[in-house]
């Protein structure tokens, strides 16, 4: 390994200034380590992104926290960020595949009696299977290979005996993972739910993962963490190469700037981590893993209105659709009142006209006249390549699972994809950053 271009020295380099990287860097700094964060974007936050639209702070990325996400609540408290409840009063809406709209309340939309019984038995079977998964090592266990050898879509076809029940579970799957059920293994779906404490925790608003929001937006957490690091963060510095020898690593950016360090934490999505050049090359298992982990196709559309007009109509602003193009909608209005904000989530691109047409079907003509519109396609984002998180297709967990978190000599991995609790969530990213910091400190 040569490092004659090295321009800086640090104890630890952290690649990525998302929630995982920022949490890790702050933990290391608190233990006296000289840390430098290299971020490809011109801003911090990773897959959280809060921007201004229509005079309001709106979230284009991760935004919700809920019970059991203890690290996210603790960090918000530590940073002085207020938490408030997601608006949940009134009727939710379900759009059927045929285009009809039905009101419902609770966690699961109402179907016909046979369809409800079918959905209930499928969810119960899913939960029973999920409880057999060890979130620390989902590839272990006598049944793991069989679960990993099938897609979630195949399981849904075999498990449901009504079309309506299957269509609703499929729609919920698209909303949860930002993909079609055929794109991920059943084992991954079960692990994801298990890592969150169950399917209800993933799906529910009150008592579930969408229960609360952060005042000022989730991006405020990243900004305040970054402020603590100050000039230890270098923006617009995408990492191109990581070289290592027996005593050091040299991390080089695309512009040729290099940093020599004792250890490095790579806190970016696996698909991006796999595009970095490593010298010497990574073990085959790690390399093959990153070639197999596409990201979900999350697209978020945020629409700002003069007021939350749906509330006066007795609606919560929450909707799920089996027709699309929008998979789900939620009320994302500011805590202080005033303007109304709806956030619509899609897993494949659609025109603004198509989105507005669907929202009009759901909420009436006023939904088609927002005063501001902002959209972010996470798949088109060069420094995410998708969202919410990486998807594990069949045979990936059981063949390459250990390589997700296993350090390679002086290289450590972080990011929500390495979390054993709340995979794919802000809380999981925070936990992963803390775990990576502990691993780094244990080696010093």
Low-confidence ranges of the chain (pLDDT < 50): 1-4
Q: What is the pLDDT of residues 321-375, one digit of tens each?
A: 999 999 999 999 999 878 999 999 999 999 999 999 999 999 999 999 999 999 9
- The pair of structure tokens assigned to 410 is 């002086």
For 301, the 3-state DSSP assignment is strand
Instruction: Give me Rg for the CA atoms of the chain.
Output: 22
Distance CA 130, CA 333 (A): 34
- Residue 239: which H helix or E strand, with range? strand 239-244
The percent of residues above 70 in pLDDT, for the chain, comes to 99
User: How confident is the model at residue 1, as a pLDDT?
Assistant: 47
For 387, the 3-state DSSP assignment is strand
The total number of residues written for the chain in this structure: 444
User: How confident is the model at residue 2, as a pLDDT?
Assistant: 44
Distance CA 396, CA 213 (A): 33
Q: In whole angstroms, how far apart are CA 350 and each of 62, 141, 181, 278?
A: 20, 41, 19, 38
Check: CB of residue 145 under 8 Å from CB of residue 154: no
Tell whether omega for the bond before 325 is within 30 degrees of 0, i.e. cis.
yes
Q: In whole angstroms, how far apart are CA 96 and each of 102, 115, 165, 365?
A: 8, 13, 11, 19
């Amino acid at each position: 390994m040569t490092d004659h271009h090295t321009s800086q020295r640090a104890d630890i380099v952290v690649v990525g200034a998302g929630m995982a990287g920022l949490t890790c860097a702050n933990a290391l700094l608190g233990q006296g380590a000289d840390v430098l964060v290299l971020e490809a974007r011109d801003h911090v936050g990773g897959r959280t992104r809060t921007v201004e639209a229509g005079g309001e702070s709106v979230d284009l990325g991760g935004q919700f926290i809920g019970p059991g996400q203890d690290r996210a609540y603790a960090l918000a408290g530590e940073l002085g960020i207020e938490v408030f409840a997601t608006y949940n009063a009134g009727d939710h809406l379900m759009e059927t595949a045929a285009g009809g709209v039905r009101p419902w309340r609770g966690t699961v939309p109402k179907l016909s009696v046979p369809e409800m019984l079918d959905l209930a038995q499928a969810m119960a079977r899913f939960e029973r299977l999920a409880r057999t998964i060890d979130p620390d090592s989902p590839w272990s266990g006598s049944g793991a290979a069989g679960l990993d050898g099938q897609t979630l879509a195949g399981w849904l076809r075999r498990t449901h005996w009504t079309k309506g029940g299957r269509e609703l579970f499929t729609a919920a799957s698209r909303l949860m993972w930002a993909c079609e059920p055929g794109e991920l293994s059943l084992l991954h779906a079960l692990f994801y739910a298990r890592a969150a404490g169950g399917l209800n925790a993933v799906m529910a608003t009150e008592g579930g993962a969408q229960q609360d929001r952060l005042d000022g937006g989730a991006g405020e957490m990243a900004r305040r963490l970054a402020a603590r690091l100050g000039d230890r963060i270098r923006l617009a510095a995408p990492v191109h190469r990581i070289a290592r020898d027996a005593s050091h690593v040299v991390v080089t950016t695309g512009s040729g700037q290099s940093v020599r360090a004792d250890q490095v934490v790579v806190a970016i999505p696996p698909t991006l981590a796999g595009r970095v050049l490593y010298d010497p090359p990574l073990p085959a298992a790690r390399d093959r893993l990153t070639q197999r982990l596409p990201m979900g196709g999350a697209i978020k559309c945020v629409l700002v209105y003069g007021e939350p007009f749906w509330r006066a109509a007795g609606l919560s602003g929450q909707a799920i659709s089996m027709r699309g193009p929008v998979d789900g909608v939620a009320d994302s209005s500011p805590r202080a009142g005033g303007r109304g904000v709806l956030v619509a989530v899609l897993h494949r691109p659609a025109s603004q006209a198509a989105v507005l047409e669907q929202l009009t079907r759901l909420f009436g003509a006023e939904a088609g006249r927002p005063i501001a519109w902002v959209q972010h396609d996470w798949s088109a984002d060069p420094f995410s390549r998708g969202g919410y998180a990486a998807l594990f297709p069949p045979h990936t967990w059981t063949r390459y699972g250990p390589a997700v978190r296993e350090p390679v000599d002086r290289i450590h991995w972080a990011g929500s994809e390495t979390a054993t609790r709340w995979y794919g969530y802000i809380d999981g990213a925070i936990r992963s950053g803390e775990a990576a910091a502990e691993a780094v400190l244990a080696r010093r």
